[in-house]
């Protein structure tokens, strides 16, 4: 039997390496095969350990005989998936694997409900994630890895672009621009040296699908990039990765070295005469570098400030040479499309959005993680069908899509289709795939303030509207959340939003107002409550909170009075206490301390 540990960043943070170390200590004689894999995307169940049988054997129980996701990269049957494992479980996990009797770890097995999380997905970009060893090129080759590039090398570049056109693949970084069109433009551009760039500067806070792909299936990215490089005629390529993703960089470095050794990278690839080299460039932390011209500036060693377009990168990109930039998830689909045909990809989705999309489902969600689904499902399907709805019995309020460039979608629009056009109509965007779910405890004004704080800090400063406009908007939103909002503030915000949209050069500035515009559109009542009544309906804005002690529930234990850092609570022992509102700093210590639920927040 083989034990495979899910060691993506999430799994490691949850303790996967500690559990593996404990198992390996017991396994000094090597009775059990131990391996690693990347992220299966069920982040809420980490750390996860998969127990595999021998390849070619059949699973002993019907429960695990479902095929598909229940098989490993080599077709070996997945006998059990153990979730939320702890170091203390290491001994019985080892014993179960060594003896082949899994009854001792029955309680750790994934529940039928949780299995649905994967079963309801359609995985293409994530097809190998969590199933194969990302640090072993042989594991990738065993699942048809590098077959697509072999096929492509027998095709003309034009045919490759045509196949991508048939697939309808569009840029997964957020803009949704047809991939074939960019490739074609770069192919047709004049220049001796052309460059291919992978945008792995996943800066949208709340999105982590690109990190997962690089950590879990780096060869799929490399293969997708090689195909693109062949199609456009590029011989040099870069992967621009966020510096915050150290594990992704390490795994990609290993994968590049292995591919080079196997003759899949570098000069004269597989004897075809086609040469391409891929280098990693680590970003240094700037959200604006997700914008393609800013990314190019950064690659050149400059401040990441966007350039005027046109000329587009396809004509004048890196060092003024023709360049093509795609996102990680876009590349991760390419090899699959070549092997299965563009038509198979286009068969999924809607009229205007083809194929699948990966979302990072987070926030107040029961089952958070990576979800890949065909376009055309509804938001409700994803959040409630796959994500299981709101955690801790809360009620759904809104979902934020597209991060700082996107918007908040309210409950009555939950049946909106996942489609570039339909999502755009709500004022939000498809974005790179961040899907942050909020419940009734999230204040929408504070949410808008949060995003404007982010964009004001991340504005590169080139355009006045964005540099100063976002700062003024942040100031206005801050005063609203502090109960100092003025009549007319909402209209002023709207005016600033329109000004920034019109006056900013790049996508960061043009979309920065979206979180404000959508929260005003759907949650105007919350703005009004803050401004007119100095009240936060979600009870989130600290300054507007009012803490009170219910005399009927208070036992006079004096605990809250002792905890209060400013001495705002007074009362005699065994008699109801009271809070002096003029002294209270709204820190909430009293609520956390009270054992009788006597302190209420209003």
Contacting positions for other proteins (CB under 8 A): 9-10, 12-14, 43-44, 46, 202-208, 211, 243-245, 281-287, 298-304, 319, 360, 362-364, 368-369, 400, 403, 434, 436-438, 442, 447, 450-451, 454, 458, 460, 587-588
Residue 72 or 537: which CB sits closer to other proteins?
537
Q: State the minimum distance, in angstroms, from the CB of residue 305 to other proteins.
A: 8
CB nearer other proteins, residue 220 or residue 362? 362
Tokens 């970003």 belong to residue: 283
Q: Which of 183, 136, 140 is nearest to 335 (CA)?
A: 140
Q: What would the 3-class secondary structure string for 422-477 be?
A: HHHHCCCCCCCCEEEEEECCCCHHHHHHHHHHHHHHHCCCCCHHHHHHHHHHHHHH
Select 152 or 452, whichever has its Cβ closest to other proteins: 452
Integer CA distances (angstroms), 592 to 285, 332, 535, 588, 598, in order: 36, 46, 22, 7, 11
Instruction: Output 447 or 520, the one with its CB closest to other proteins.
Output: 447
Nearest to 132 by CA among 45, 252, 216: 216
The dihedral over CA atoms of 288, 290, 293, 297, expressed in degrees to the nearest 10, equals: 70
Q: Give the shortest CB-283-to-other proteins separation in angstroms.
A: 8
Compute CA distances 222 → 146, 218, 253, 424, 463, whole Å. Answer: 9, 6, 11, 31, 36
**What's the CA gap between 463 and 306, in Å, rounded?**
10
Closer Cβ to other proteins, 232 or 399, answer by number: 399
Q: Which residue has the tokens 């005063």?
A: 479
Q: How far apart are alpha carbons 175 and 239 in whole angstroms?
A: 19
- Smallest distance, other proteins to C-beta of residue 553, A: 23
**Residue 590's beta-bridge partner residues?**
none
Phi, psi of 236 (to 5 degrees): -130, 135
> At closest approach, how far in Å is the CB of 204 from other proteins?
7
And the tokens for 118?
């994967």
Query: Whole-number minimum distance, CB 165 to other proteins, in Å?
Result: 32
Strand-pairing partners, residue 200, are: 241
Find the shortest distance in angstroms from Cβ 218 to other proteins. 16
211 vs 307, which CB is nearer to other proteins? Answer: 211
Give whichever of 61 and 302 is closer to other proteins, judged by the CB atom.
302
The tokens for 207 are 């999105």
Give strand pairing partners of 280. 239
Phi first, then psi: what are they for 370, rounded to 5°?
A: -95, 130
Minimum separation from the CB atom of position 589 to other proteins (A): 10
Residues 6 or more apart in contact with residue 315 via CB below 8 angstroms: 185, 189, 322
Nearest Cα residue to 368 out of 124, 132, 114, 172: 114
Q: Which is nearer to other proteins, 187 or 449 (CB)?
A: 449
Q: What is the DSSP string of 493-527?
A: HHHHHHHHHHH-SSHHHHHTTHHHHHHHHHHHHHH
- Cβ contact 547:584 at 8 Å: yes
- Cβ 342 to other proteins shortest distance, Å: 31
Q: State which residue, 227 or 594, has the beta carbon closest to other proteins.
A: 594
CB 299 to other proteins: min, Å: 6
CB of 136 to other proteins, least distance (A): 23
Phi and psi at 361, nearest 5°, equal -90, 115
Q: By C-beta, is 60 or 588 nearer to other proteins?
A: 588
Least distance to other proteins, CB of residue 229, Å: 19
122 or 319: whose CB is closer to other proteins?
A: 319
Structure tokens that stand for 266 in this block? 């570098």
Structure tokens belonging to residue 560: 């809250």
């Amino acid at each position: 039997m083989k034990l495979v540990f899910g060691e993506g960043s999430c799994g490691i943070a949850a303790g996967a390496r500690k559990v593996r170390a404990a198992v390996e200590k017991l396994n000094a004689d090597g009775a059990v095969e131990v391996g690693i894999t990347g992220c299966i995307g069920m982040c809420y169940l980490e750390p996860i350990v998969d127990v595999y049988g021998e390849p070619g054997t059949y699973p002993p129980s019907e429960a695990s005989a479902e095929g598909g996701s229940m098989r490993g990269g080599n077709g070996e049957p997945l006998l059990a998936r153990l979730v939320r494992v702890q170091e203390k479980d290491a001994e019985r996990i080892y014993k179960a694997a060594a003896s082949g009797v899994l009854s001792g770890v029955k309680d750790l097995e994934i529940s039928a409900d949780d299995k649905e999380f994967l079963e309801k997905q359609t995985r293409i970009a994530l097809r190998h994630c969590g199933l194969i060893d990302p640090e072993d090129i042989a594991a990738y080759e065993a699942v048809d890895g590098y077959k697509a590039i072999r096929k492509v090398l027998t095709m003309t570049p034009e045919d490759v672009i045509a196949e991508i056109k048939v697939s309808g693949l569009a840029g997964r970084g957020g803009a949704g621009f047809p991939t074939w069109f960019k490739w074609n433009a770069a192919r047709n551009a004049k220049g001796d040296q052309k460059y291919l760039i992978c945008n792995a500067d996943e800066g949208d806070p709340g999105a982590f699908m690109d990190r997962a792909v690089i950590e879990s299936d780096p060869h799929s990215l490399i293969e997708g990039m090689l195909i693109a490089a062949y199609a456009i005629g590029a011989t040099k390529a870069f992967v621009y990765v966020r510096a915050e993703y150290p594990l992704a960089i390490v795994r990609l470095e290993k994968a590049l070295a292995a591919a080079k050794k196997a003759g899949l990278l570098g000069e004269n690839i597989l004897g075809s005469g086609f040469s391409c080299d891929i280098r990693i460039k680590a970003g240094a932390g700037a959200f604006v570098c997700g914008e393609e011209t800013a990314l190019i500036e950064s690659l050149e060693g400059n401040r990441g400030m966007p350039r005027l377009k046109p000329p587009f990168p396809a004509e004048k990109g890196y060092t003024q040479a023709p360049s093509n930039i795609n996102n990680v998830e876009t590349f991760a689909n390419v090899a699959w499309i070549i092997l299965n045909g563009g038509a198979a990809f286009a068969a999924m989705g809607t009229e205007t959005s083809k194929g699948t999309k990966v979302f990072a489902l987070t926030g107040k969600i029961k089952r958070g993680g990576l979800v890949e689904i065909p376009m055309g499902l509804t938001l409700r399907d994803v959040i409630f069908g796959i994500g299981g709805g709101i955690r801790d019995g809360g009620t759904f309020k809104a979902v934020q899509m597209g991060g700082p460039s996107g918007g908040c979608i309210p409950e009555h629009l939950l049946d909106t289709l996942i489609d570039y056009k339909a999502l755009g109509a709500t004022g939000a965007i498809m974005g790179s795939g961040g899907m942050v779910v909020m419940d009734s405890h999230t204040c929408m004004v504070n949410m808008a303030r949060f995003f404007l704080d982010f964009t004001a800090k991340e504005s590169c400063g080139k355009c006045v509207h964005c540099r100063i406009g976002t700062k003024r908007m942040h100031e206005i939103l801050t005063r609203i959340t502090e109960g100092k909002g003025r009549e007319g503030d909402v209209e002023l915000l709207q005016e600033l939003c329109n000004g920034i949209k019109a006056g900013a050069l790049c996508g960061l500035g043009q979309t920065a107002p979206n979180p404000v515009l959508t929260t005003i559109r759907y949650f105007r009542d919350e703005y009004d409550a803050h401004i007119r009544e100095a009240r936060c309906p979600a009870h989130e804005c600290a300054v507007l909170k009012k803490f009170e002690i219910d005399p009927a529930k208070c036992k006079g234990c004096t605990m809250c009075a002792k905890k209060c850092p400013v001495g705002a609570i007074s009362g005699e022992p065994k008699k109801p206490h009271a809070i002096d509102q003029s002294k209270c700093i709204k820190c909430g210590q009293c609520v956390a301390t009270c054992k009788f639920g006597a302190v209420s927040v209003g």
